[in-house]
Amino acid sequence: MTFHSRLTALLGSANVLVDHDAQSYLTDWRKLRTGRALAVARPGTTEEVAALVRLCAAEGVPIVPQGGNTGQVAAATPDESATALVVSLERMNRVREIDVANDTITVEAGCILAAVQDAAREAGRLFPLSLGAEGSCQIGGNLSTNAGGIKVLRYGNARELTLGLEVVTAEGAIWNGLAGLRKDNTGYDLRDLYIGAEGTLGIITAATLKLYPLPAAEHTAFLALRTLPDASAVLAAARAALGDALVAFEVMSGPALALVAARFPEQRLPLTDIADDVAWFALVETAGAAEDDERLMATLAEAMEEGRVVDAAVAGSDAQRAAMWRLRESITLAISETGPCIKHDVSLPRSRMDSFVAASDADLAMLYPGARLIVFGHLGDGNLHYNVLGPEGASRADVAAMSPAVQRMVHDRVVAAGGSISAEQGIGWARIDDLRRYKDPVALDLMHRVKAALDPRGIMNPGKVLAPETAPQPVPDPVP
């Protein structure tokens, strides 16, 4: 039997896609890369995933795991060789269990993030992972990239929200680590190893996730500010006054919201009269008791008296709150509809964020006059999306020519400030060269050793995260 016929016998012809039926799985969300695949397989159970991995291991067929295909670094896209099998987890979308007493939910990897949020809410609980693509991204992809989102400030990244995993290893074995335990000190933490590995070590097929009580009240405010340092000062005051009640503190540059207004004119800023000196906006959200609203209002009033906040609007309904967040969540889509963009997903110590942005803005204005800076992100946890659009009228080729120098300048500054070149989006295919340039050599060596140990045949998402040429060379035997 051929590989294709064995795969079809395993999954059924409806779940082995080729030719035109496979096309939507072969281009990443940003359209950075379009690959070719041997086929797209859509298993429906963990046992089917294990069986197809064993088949691929025996035949030497590379595997590219894929969730909702909403990633920013082309981690779930095959190369152009047409030798890899794309494994889509979309059919594995069941909620297996909700344990209200233990505050956990166990879901399959293909569950849409918004569906997990809804299932938790129906059980009277909160699953706090929240990001712009939550209507289409899948839990398996969220975990494979250790997704962050808007509530990391209080609840942490996907890794902090995960208690257990079910994983199919690169050899086709099933590791059932779904126990909903908050303490388990019995050796190496395999869960944390697979989270953030971008499918290069195995395939996450299910997860047990933390739930929280639904907040008694949520309060959201939209702020206008003159400078990013003003936003940082307001954040510090809000943290001091609100503590754990502060859930999110997002910043958006004026040009970022202007881009949203240009692309989506039906969306309106909550503040009708914007002063000429307003260059930044912020979204602040609390979740907790009713008195948190009073503390938020007092904090904002003090910030306005000090001149840190120029103006503020407070959501008076769920609809107003949703409209405020829609502005923030529309920035990425507005960028994609505007033209090619040089994207950066960086994290820095909060104490160095202001100086990084000021210096980078000045450098780019000098190097590329007219370049448009679309900056936004999670100021509360030090994660900034520092994006550069070309000058008005710049072609795709113009932006491509700018990209190496821009990325090198931005990432050099990030690393010099003690930051990371990837805060929440991963490495994938797009940032391999950056990882090789900036990652500590000892860390790279250890990563290659882990990869070799857990994926000895090298079939799991090859060409992603680690560049083959950075693999450690054999160490010669010591001279007698």
Does residue 66 fall inside a structural domain? no
CATH number at residue 143: 3.30.465.10
Q: Is there a single domain that holds both residue 183 and residue 243?
A: no
> Any idea what DSSP says for residue 147?
-
Per-residue pLDDT tens digits for 351-377:
999 999 999 999 999 999 999 999 999
The answer to whether residue 353 sits within a structural domain is: yes
Are 105 and 186 members of one domain? yes
191 and 266 within one domain:
no
Number of domains in the chain: 3
What is the structure's pLDDT at 313? 94
Point out which residues pair with 223 in neighbouring strands. Answer: 282, 312
3-state DSSP assignment of residue 107? strand
By the 8 A CB rule, do 127 and 58 touch? Answer: no
End residue of a domain, out of 287, 303, 332: 332
For residue 374, the enclosing domain spans 341-423
Residue 68 lies in a domain: no
Q: What is the pLDDT of residue 474?
A: 47
pLDDT (0 to 100) of residue 469: 53
Instruction: Looking at the structure, tell me whether residues 267 and 356 fall in a common domain.
Output: no
Are 361 and 373 spatial neighbours (Cβ–Cβ below 8 Å)? yes
DSSP for residue 112: B
- Residue 101 has a pLDDT of 97
Residue 360 lies in a domain: yes
Give the 3-state secondary structure of residue 175.
strand
294-348 pLDDT, tens digit per residue, is 899 999 999 999 999 999 999 999 999 999 999 999 999 999 899 889 999 999 9
Note the pTM of the prediction, 2 decimals.
Answer: 0.91
pLDDT value of position 476: 45
Specify the pairing of strand 104-108 against strand 85-88.
unpaired
> Is 302 found in the same domain as 377?
no
Tell me the C-alpha distance between 472 and 480, whole Å. 23
Residues 206 and 285 occupy one common structural domain? no
User: Do 234 and 205 lie in a common domain?
Assistant: no
Are 225 and 136 within one domain? no
Q: What is the CATH number of the domain that holds 310?
A: 3.30.70.2190
Q: Which residue has the tokens 């060789």?
A: 81
| Residue 37 domain-assigned (yes or no) | no
In a domain, 476, yes or no: no
- Which of 159, 179, 213 marks a domain boundary? 213
377: CATH? 3.30.70.2740
Q: Which of 311, 332, 353 is the last residue of a domain?
A: 332
Q: Which residues in the chain come in under a pLDDT of 50?
A: 473-480
Contact 373, 364 (CB under 8 A): yes
SS3 content of the chain, % helix, strand, coil (to 5): 40, 20, 40
Assess whether 203 and 108 both reside in one domain.
yes
**Shared domain check, 166 and 253:** no
Contact between 234 and 308 under an 8 Å Cβ cutoff? The reply is yes
Let me know whether 189 and 121 are in one domain: yes
59 is a domain residue? no
Residues 400, 340 contacting (CB under 8 angstroms): yes
- Residues 178 and 287 placed together within one structural domain of the fold: no
Flag whether 132 is in a domain: yes
